[in-house]
Structure 1
Amino acid sequence: MRAATTAQWFRTSDGVRLRYLDSGSGRMVVFVPGWCMPASIFQPQIDALSRRWRVVSLDPRGQGESEVPRGGYDPARRGQDIRDLLAHLGGGRVVLAGWSLGVLDALSYVDMAGDGRLAGLVLIDNSVGEGQAPPPRSVPSRFFINLRQRRDATVRGFVGSMYRTPQDAAYLDAIARQAQRMPVEASIRLLSYPRPREFWKQSLYAVRRPVYYAVTPRLRSQAELVAQHHPQPMVEVFDGAGHALFVDESARFNASMEEFLSRRAAWN
């Protein structure tokens, strides 16, 4: 039976009101979405995993239904927002799962707070600073120009590119509209995090809890290096999925999450 999902709110340490979705009960997994995306993008995980776990999905500042402040679109503040959320939720250890930009937000949290609250860390389809930098999906400067000049079309193109499987037009429209809530310059700052690649690598390997790194083929070499270098790795390459691999191959990803949560995470 599917657990009920409720929308909850909390205030960050700098006074910004953020929303999160909360479903299920028991040990907790917290999802952090990517660039400009809403918490609801993890609906396939909320529906499946909340049968056994408490599933929380954050609308980061400026995203989903959270407040859109003028500032705070930098890795330190976003990491602190996660820290504030975990303090608000209370309780023991959690599995923290970040996707895309949420990977960097989660690693920013780890840099400032350590891994004491973590039973495990899930990183979904972003570079973690291992090996050589992956080829960019597009030229960043051109993407920024397009965001400033043709934002709606650019965001809709980006949203459509996240999937390899057909998606309902109304679903894509809703995601694209939500992805344009924050000021355009704030959205560009989110794509311009002023941290070297080595920072993300060091943050990852400072985590001694189990790590699940789920990627698409462009990050295969990084996944192989994480499997070699992290003491408790679980890595998986989703060859047939797009960037939103947890939607494209939701059944496979959810099964892997169940494996990680039930058999690998360090809850004690």
Structure 2
Amino acid sequence: MKTEVAGLGGVRIALRVEGAENTRPIVFVHGWAQSGAAWSAQLADPALSTRFRLVAMDLRGHGASDVPAVGYDDPRQWAEDLAAVLDFAGPDAILVGWSYGGLVIADYLRVHGSARLSGIVLAGAITEIGRGREGGRTGPIMRAALPAALSEDAEVAVPALVEFARAQANPRVPGTYAQAMLGQSLAVPPSVRGALFRRDIGSAEVLAAVDKPVLVVHGTADGVVSPAAAEYSAGKIPGAVLRWFVDAGHLPFVEEPGEFNSLLRQFSGETAEEQE
């Protein structure tokens, strides 16, 4: 099912939804220049959808959501958009953030704290951004794509985005998925692609204050977000569990969907038991 909610300022936030309303929600937050379609292998898994309500959002400026002209550097906009999605999804949600989605979750925690959550999963995620920020350290694939991938000039941006998608598409990533990723990147306006990088914000205190279970998942061969970012997040969050996907790249939930989904089911079940 596809639907929408109103984020900060009335911005329309598009959602993909699977599962029954009376089950525990898992809310998925995608990465830079992508959409909720990134989570197709999770939304299509009956082992997840029969036990949980799965809600995958399109961040503002991405996918089928509205594209405001400004405000992408404001932590509050991301926090309130995600809060609106949580209002829709239901109480005690698990948040799953991939790549830039981890920073969006950090923004939510910065504004609202973790009271409404039952747990957090960070998958190939950053939690900070800006020069020298350990929680936002990028890898060689991301560095090679910038700044060309942010250009208004199609002759500059398109080849960079093609190579960015190709470089992530190791043999474990289906070709159709990799091509869809490229399409999603091209659909995001270059002004938005660039605005997401014009931030400088740390999250050390935010992460240290998290008091819910956290699972950090990262591919050891991730060339987009450095594994050092995962080590940083896991080291700052009290009690966080760090799980490496050996030889996986930036898409562990695509490259090893069975293992990832099983891990997500286990983690979500354990957080439910803790609250009972």
TM-score by length of 2: 0.84
Aligned 1:73-84 pairs, distance under 5 A: 73-74=72-73, 75-84=75-84
User: Could you list the per-position Cα deviations for residues 177-220 of structure 1 after superposition, in whole angstroms to 9, with x for gaps in the alignment?
Assistant: 2222232122111123221xxx3222222110000000122655
Q: Which residue of structure 1 lines up, in the alignment, with residue 244 of structure 2? A: 237
Cα pair distance change 1:201/1:165, threshold 3 Å? farther
SS at match of 1:180: helix
Cα pair distance change 1:222/1:136, threshold 3 Å? closer
| Greater Cα shift, 227-236 or 96-105 | 227-236
SS at match of 1:156: helix
- Percentage of pairs with the same residue: 27
Q: Distance in 1 between matches of 2:67 and 2:40?
A: 22
1:192 to 2:198 alignment: yes
Q: Which runs of 5+ in 1 are unaligned?
A: 1-5
Q: Distance in 2 between matches of 1:220 and 1:179?
A: 23
Q: Which residue of structure 2 lines up, in the alignment, with residue 33 of structure 1? A: 30
| 8 Å CA contact retained: 1:38, 1:64 | yes
User: Could you list the per-position Cα deviations for residues 119-176 of structure 1 after superposition, in whole angstroms to 9, with x for gaps in the alignment?
Assistant: 0011111244696874642575971235314222211221222232354444333321
SS at match of 2:194: helix
Q: Which residue of structure 2 lines up, in the alignment, with residue 211 of structure 1? A: 214
Cα pair distance change 1:250/1:261, threshold 3 Å? same
| 8 Å CA contact retained: 1:64, 1:179 | no
SS at match of 1:61: coil
1:59 to 2:73 alignment: no
Deviation at residue 86 of structure 1 after TM alignment: 1.3
Cα pair distance change 1:67/1:258, threshold 3 Å? same
| 8 Å CA contact retained: 1:93, 1:267 | no
| 8 Å CA contact retained: 1:216, 1:241 | yes
1:262 to 2:265 alignment: no
| 8 Å CA contact retained: 1:163, 1:245 | no
| 8 Å CA contact retained: 1:213, 1:235 | yes
Aligned 1:73-222 pairs, distance under 5 A: 73-74=72-73, 75-89=75-89, 91-128=90-127, 134=137, 136-137=139-140, 140=143, 143-148=146-151, 149=153, 150-195=156-201, 199-217=202-220, 219-220=226-227
Q: Distance in 1 between matches of 2:160 and 2:111?
A: 34
| 8 Å CA contact retained: 2:63, 2:188 | no
Cα pair distance change 1:141/1:194, threshold 3 Å? farther
Deviation at residue 73 of structure 1 after TM alignment: 1.7
Cα pair distance change 1:263/1:166, threshold 3 Å? closer
User: For the aligned residues, what is the CA RMSD?
Assistant: 2.5
Deviation at residue 47 of structure 1 after TM alignment: 1.7
